[in-house]
Amino acid sequence: MTAAGRRVRGVVLVVVVVAAYVAVVLTYALGSPPDGPDLREAAPDAALVYLDVDTVSGENFSLDARVSVYPGAELTDADGNLVDDLIVDVTPTASAGTLTFPSGTRVGPLPVSLYADGDIRRWPFDTYDASSIQVRVFSNASTGRVAVPSEIVVTDSLTSWSVEAVDIDASSAQAFDIRVSRTVGTTIFDLAICVVLVVLPLCTLFVSIQTLRRRKQFLPPIMTWFAVTLFAVLPIRNLFPGAPPIGSWVDYTVVLWVVAGLVTAMVFYVIAWWRFGP
């Protein structure tokens, strides 16, 4: 290749790297637009309930959330305290789903854990579905338990997940589904780490094969570099967001072959040492 051709190839490589860097930064910066102010208010005889998803636990098949209730004016006294006990029933749940706010107190957020169907071994393409969720509100008055009209709002406090509520309805008896999936930016980051792993054996195989073919001089210190790259695989694998368990899809498609490639490169270099070493 001529000098001009090498320069063109170098310029193209630099442009591709810079473009990839800019794309990743823009994806992170513009990932999701900020939400506007929430102007919802509860009707005087109703309650506004926020179900805020804040943790995804793929190994435990659950979504952790906080339940925040905003009662209407007729359910509170002049000081903002509850006139009667307020009960929020969330089903189905992986923990106690009945939340009780005593009369004479102000309501505050309480935790709840929802069942979620998903497979963390499919990381980073794993999704989790909590199906047929119902949130019902009752007032425990002296005359007995009375259903309170309610509006249910699903929100999230997650930075790397996208939460979507399907078929949600203002009626407290209406069931809805919650689907949680990784954001585009997080998925790109996950795949970028996989690319970093793949580059390691490619570099070591190139060096060892060129040395074995006697196109490059045998250098004993390079064996140390091979060992360092091999032991770097596990720390890089532990950087995977969400910490997928050993035996996940990515281990069979990426990590296993990265380790095999590094070991093969070391074997080739040992053969080169045996043939050409001092």
Distance CA 87, CA 75 (A): 12
CA atoms within 13 A on the CB side of 70: 14
Domain ranges of the chain: 1-30, 47-182, 186-276
CATH number of 47-182, picked from 1.10.10, 3.30.420, 3.20.20, 2.60.40 = 2.60.40
What mean pLDDT is predicted for residues 131-152? 82
Residue 125 confidence (pLDDT) above 80: yes
Q: What is the pLDDT of residue 128?
A: 92
Cβ(197)–Cβ(258) below 8 Å: yes
C-alpha distance from residue 180 to each of 19, 42, 63, 131, 168 (Å): 30, 27, 9, 11, 15
Distance CA 125, CA 107 (A): 38
Greatest mean pLDDT range, 68-77, 197-206, 217-226: 197-206
Q: What is the pLDDT of residue 36?
A: 61
Residue 52 confidence (pLDDT) above 60: yes
- Read off the pLDDT of residues 250-261 as tens digits, 9 standing for 90 and up: 888 888 999 999
The alpha carbon dihedral of 261, 266, 270, 275 has a sign of: positive
Reading the block at residue 242, the tokens are 């969400």
259: part of which helix (H) or strand (E)? Answer: helix 256-276
DSSP secondary structure code for residue 120 in this structure: G
Residue 25 confidence (pLDDT) above 80: no
Asked which of 4-18, 179-193, 196-210 is least confident by mean pLDDT, the reply is 4-18
In sequence order, the 6+-apart residues with CB closer than 8 A to the CB of 233 are 197, 200, 255, 258, 259, 262
Residue 151 confidence (pLDDT) above 70: yes
DSSP secondary structure code for residue 93 in this structure: B
What mean pLDDT is predicted for residues 190-201? 87
Q: What is the pLDDT of residue 172?
A: 44
Q: What is the pLDDT of residue 278?
A: 67
What mean pLDDT is predicted for residues 132-151? 82
- Residue 142 or residue 63, greater confidence: 63
